[in-house]
Amino acid sequence: MSQSRPTVLFVDDEINMLDMFKRMLGSEANDWDAHFCSSADEALGIALAGGVDTVVSDIRMPEKDGFDLLAAIRESGPSVRVPFIILTGGGDQALRCKALELGATDLLTKPIGRDDLLVRIRTALRMKFQADDQERTIHKLSSQVEHRTMELENARRETVWRLAKTCEFRDDETGNHIVRVACNSRFIARGLGMDEVFCDLIMQASALHDIGKIGIPDRVLLKPGPLDPEERTIVQSHTTMGYEILSGRPQAAGGLGMDPLGSLGSLETGRQFRILQLAATIAECHHERWDGLGYPNGLSGEAIPLAARIVAVADVYDALISERPYKRALSVDEAVEIIAGENGRQFEPAVVRVFLRGYREMNAETDEYIGSGSMETGFYDTLGSIS
């Protein structure tokens, strides 16, 4: 299709009519790429190949008639909006109505005059090119909106990542703990059969699980020895502080200011807020225990949001195999034994089951990710391919 040389399709089973069209075109034939078809099937083949800008067709033809051709074109993808001019007899009022109902653009009554024919075709072509321009503009605007949306999404992901790292730098200079917790959480969520939207969100949101540590003094957070009861209480407050930072409001009395299911089912707001809401829930509840002996609210069982039940295992496992100021790094086998020993006590059995079944694969996936050195630039790029 080209605006400089539009394509016009003439369809009539009578060769005399096609010859008449050729004669009528006269010098217009130099400007238009005209095709002359003696059957609806032949015309349909050309139309479906694309590039036709206007069809001029008789109604009455053997086998497939003009209505069949019109209907087939209107149902097709590439040619669905091609202007279609129907040739009718003067007394065929019912046929004229039917043609318009089927989506004919214009009607030409026989006998056809040259000026009438040419002006109708020119009008139809103008309509076609205006529609094409409109479509190109819509496509261009859609692409721009898509591009801007992607930029905003990437900026949001990058902001979440850097916020998480800011806090993590205080007691883990590599910042790898949050990446491992994020990767582990996504792995476990997938193992539980959660959909990719949830898995993507929990990967991002879990990176912020310890954001509340930003409010814990160094003398407590970095203390190499055991904590006294008061210091322990201070450290535990990172859960409620994390909730308050991420939710933007004080923790509700009794805890769980939002999203008691932690499943996203109750989260109706936009994606950026869903991540912050889920992150707030995880920050608040990732130290709750399945048996109800955790903190800050002593929730138990399924009263603990699912995302927090997942992150609890992902977080503790990585903490066990990591060196901290107050402890050596355990081996994977030692850590797995501890997680298994807490099945049904600290951790939900279903989550532990997924972990025990897949921790080797989980480790390999996470190590590969960190080993690739793509955290800075690739952490959220990878997420971007999911959402």
In the region spanning residues 142 to 201, those forming contacts with Fe ion, defined by CB under 5 A, are: none
As a dihedral over the C-alpha atoms of residue 313, residue 247, residue 302, residue 317, rounded to 10 degrees, the angle is: 0
Give the distance between the most distant pair of CA atoms in the chain: 104
**Closest to Fe ion by CB, 69 or 316:** 316
Which of 89-97, 110-118, 206-214, 323-331 is the region at the interface with Fe ion (rule: CB under 5 A)? 206-214
Q: What DSSP line would sit under 15-26, residue for residue?
A: HHHHHHHHHHHG
**Closest to Fe ion by CB, 6 or 294:** 294
- Smallest distance, Å, CB 81 to Fe ion? 58
CA dist., res. 369 & res. 70, Å (int): 56
- Smallest distance, Å, CB 287 to Fe ion? 6
Identity of residue 172: D
The residue number with the shortest CB distance to Fe ion is: 210
- Smallest distance, Å, CB 302 to Fe ion? 21
Which of 209-217, 272-280, 299-307, 359-367 is the region at the interface with Fe ion (rule: CB under 5 A)? 209-217
Q: Which position among 210, 259, 288, 318 is part of the footprint of Fe ion (CB under 5 A)? A: 210
How many residues interact with Fe ion (rule CB under 5 A)? 1
Q: Supply φ then ψ for residue 91, to 5 degrees.
A: -95, 5
Which of 165-173, 207-215, 220-228, 229-237 is the region at the interface with Fe ion (rule: CB under 5 A)? 207-215
- Smallest distance, Å, CB 314 to Fe ion? 11
Give the tokens for residue 144. Answer: 């721009």
* Paired strand residues for 8: 34, 54
The binding track of 119-138 with respect to Fe ion, each residue x by CB under 5 A or -, is --------------------
- Smallest distance, Å, CB 269 to Fe ion? 25
The binding track of 70-89 with respect to Fe ion, each residue x by CB under 5 A or -, is --------------------
Q: Is 284 in the site for Fe ion (CB under 5 A)?
A: no
**Closest to Fe ion by CB, 210 or 259:** 210
- Smallest distance, Å, CB 134 to Fe ion? 55
Which of 96-104, 107-115, 210-218, 243-251 is the region at the interface with Fe ion (rule: CB under 5 A)? 210-218
Closest CA to 308 of 345, 281, 273: 281
Bond into 78 cis (ω within 30)? no
- Segment holding 35, helix H or strand E: strand 33-37
CA dist., res. 143 & res. 37, Å (int): 38
CA dist., res. 6 & res. 54, Å (int): 8
CA dist., res. 335 & res. 288, Å (int): 19
Contact at 8 Å (CB) between 10 and 121? no
- Smallest distance, Å, CB 364 to Fe ion? 25
- Smallest distance, Å, CB 306 to Fe ion? 17
CA dist., res. 206 & res. 191, Å (int): 16
Residues making contact with Fe ion (CB under 5 A): 210
